[in-house]
C-alpha cells in the first residue's frame, strides 16, 4: 500500500475507533506495525491523541482531512512549531517512548515523573 493511501486509512481508523492500540490500527488500516507506530508518534506530538489506560485515545479530532507525515520533515504537514513546557515535554517524551514499544504509556509517564523529582 502506498503512503498516500496508508495515512488516510490510519486516520479514518483512529477517528472511527476513538480508543485504540497500535495493533487495532494495523488490523483495521492494513499497514505495518512500524508504520502505524510512527504515525501514532507524530499524532501524539501534534496533540491529536493521548495515552489512557494502556490505549491511545483521540483527543483532538480535526475532521476528515488526513494529518500527513512528510518524509524528512519533523511532525505533520502544515503544523506550527510548538514550544513545550518542561512538564509537557516529559509527557510527550513518555508517549514517544511508549510508541516505540519501550513501556506502556502510563507506566512511562510515571517513570519520568519519578526521575524529574
Q: Point out which residues pair with 111 in neighbouring strands.
A: none
Closest of 33, 32, 69, 70 to residue 48, by C-alpha: 69
pLDDT tens digit sequence for 66-110: 877 665 544 444 443 445 566 666 666 666 666 655 445 566 556
Long-range contacts of 30-34 (CB under 8 A, 24+ apart): 30/1, 31/1, 31/6
**Which pTM does this prediction carry?**
0.60
Instruction: Report the distance separating Cα 56 and Cα 69, nearest Å.
Output: 18
94 and 105 Cβ atoms separated by less than 8 Å: yes
How many domains does the structure of the chain reveal? 1
Per-residue pLDDT reduced to its tens digit, 14-40: 999 999 999 999 999 999 999 998 888
Question: Domain containing 22 — which CATH number?
Answer: 1.10.10
Domain that holds residue 78: 3-116
Amino acid at each position: 500500500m502506498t503512503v498516500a493511501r496508508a495515512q488516510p486509512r490510519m486516520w479514518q481508523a483512529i477517528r472511527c475507533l476513538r480508543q485504540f492500540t497500535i495493533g487495532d490500527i494495523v488490523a483495521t488500516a492494513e499497514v505495518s506495525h512500524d508504520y502505524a507506530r510512527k504515525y501514532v508518534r507524530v499524532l501524539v506530538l501534534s496533540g491529536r491523541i493521548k495515552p489512557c489506560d494502556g490505549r491511545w485515545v483521540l483527543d483532538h479530532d480535526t475532521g476528515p482531512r488526513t494529518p500527513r507525515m512528510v518524509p524528512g520533515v519533523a511532525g505533520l504537514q502544515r503544523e506550527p512549531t510548538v514550544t513545550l513546557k518542561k512538564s509537557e515535554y516529559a509527557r510527550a517524551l513518555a508517549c514517544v517512548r511508549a510508541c516505540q514499544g519501550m513501556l506502556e504509556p502510563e507506566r512511562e509517564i510515571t517513570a519520568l515523573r519519578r526521575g524529574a523529582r
